[in-house]
Copies of this chain bind each other. A is one copy, B any other.
Amino acid sequence: MIENAYYTEEFHGPFELYTIGDFELEDGGVIPDCQLAYTTYGELNESKDNVIVIPTWFSGTSIAYEPYIGEGRALDPEKYFIVIINQIGNGLSSSPHNSPAPIDMANFPNVRISDDVRAQHQLLTEKYGIEEVALVVGGSMGAQQTYEWAVRYPDMVKRAAPIAGTAKNTDHDFLFTHTLMEAITSDPGFNSGNYQSCQDVADGLRRHADIWAVMGLSTEFYKQEKWRLFEVDSLEEFTTGFLHPLFQAMDPNALLTMAWKWQRGDVSRMTGGNLKEALGRIKAKVFVMPIDEDMFFPPRDCEAEQKLIPNSELRVIDSVCGHFGLFGGEGEAYFNQIDEHLGELLSIPVEDSVVK
């Protein structure tokens, strides 16, 4: 275990911890006393059918979804009980830097998207007695978890909205993630995962951030100098003043745990590799929501999957910020689209509700 001041409530707002016990992982290994960090908005109603689940994205935590939520919005805490759950390994939930031996640091086991969703299911059912989820929605790796929820628990999930992510990770995405991992592991300060502080890996984290600068945004983002949306005055300030310190505060092993997981996201693992069969299991009403300028989850990849989901629609989000559109830097121009689609999705009646 090492200290990392970034993974505190000071930077991520208040969150609760729930222990799901000794958690057995799909690839072998156990996380003893596995903890999920989560944040809730609103109140669970009596019939327990007003639940919205939001899983986190790569490098992000629960606070990243704060701008998605608000009274009068689609994700309205006045109507819904919204549970944002931090994925395992993201720094707030059980992670390499905050776990004791024998799973500390480089010894942290491989975790899969399916592990996260099983863990999240345990939190909802055990702690809250929830049997129905009105909506699962999440961006990027949150979309991977959203798909996993809809395929793994088809009777429980009534609606799903994967934003900027896929049900089965693509080869191109695998290679992209590999470059992110190599940027970190190639730093001599990484020391095979047994560094004293993330500052030892500052160079690797900077290069990792620089690759994000290329793939996370879009050619048009830079042409239009849209980095101004991130409250900086120059391109250089966007990289050195925003992206570099953002990623340099993070734990390298946490990023690698998430990246490994991301690379292998694949709901067809539940159906012997048959993606059509896996997506065909989904009973939820699904809005598949890629971002038009996304360089690694392009709409065509998402559309190919959407066509395999029985009760689904493709809703493309316009954002010159590309994948980082998820950050919401464009304000209303982005969130109005999100709210419109999610509002419509939530307004669609669903059959087979536990209580109706």
Interface residues of A (CB under 8 A from B): 170-173, 175-176, 178-179, 182-183, 186-188, 203-204, 207, 210-211, 213-215, 217-223, 235, 239, 295-296, 298, 300-301
Contacts and interface: CB of A to CB of B under 8 A. Distances in A.
Copies per assembly: 2
Contact of A211 (B170, B211, B221, B223): B211
A171 B223 contact: yes
Contacts of A211: 179, 211
Contact of A186 (B171, B207, B300, B301): B207
A298 B219 contact: yes
B222 A175 contact: yes
Given A172-B214, A175-B239, 12 more contacts: A170-B219, A172-B218, A172-B221, A172-B222, A172-B223, A175-B222, A179-B207, A182-B210, A183-B207, A186-B186, A211-B211, A219-B300
B220 A300 contact: yes
A222 B170 contact: yes
A174 to B, nearest CB: 8
Contact of A179 (B170, B210, B218, B220): B210
B175 A219 contact: no
B210 A186 contact: no
A151 to B, nearest CB: 21
Contacts of A218: 172
Contacts of A204: 186
A175 B214 contact: yes
A217 B182 CA distance: 19
Nearest to A221: B172
A214 B300 contact: no
Nearest to A304: B223
A272 B160 CA distance: 53
Contacts of A298: 219
A238 to B, nearest CB: 10
A154 to B, nearest CB: 26
A6 to B, nearest CB: 23
A219 B178 contact: no
6 tightest Cβ-Cβ pairs between the two chains A and B:
A171-B222, A172-B219, A172-B222, A176-B214, A175-B213, A182-B207
Given A171-B235, A175-B210, A203 B219 contact: no
A223 B301 contact: yes
Contacts of A300: 219-220
A295 B215 CA distance: 10
18 contacts: A170-B219, A170-B223, A171-B222, A171-B223, A172-B214, A172-B221, A175-B213, A176-B214, A179-B207, A179-B210, A179-B211, A179-B214, A182-B183, A186-B204, A219-B296, A219-B301, A220-B300, A223-B301
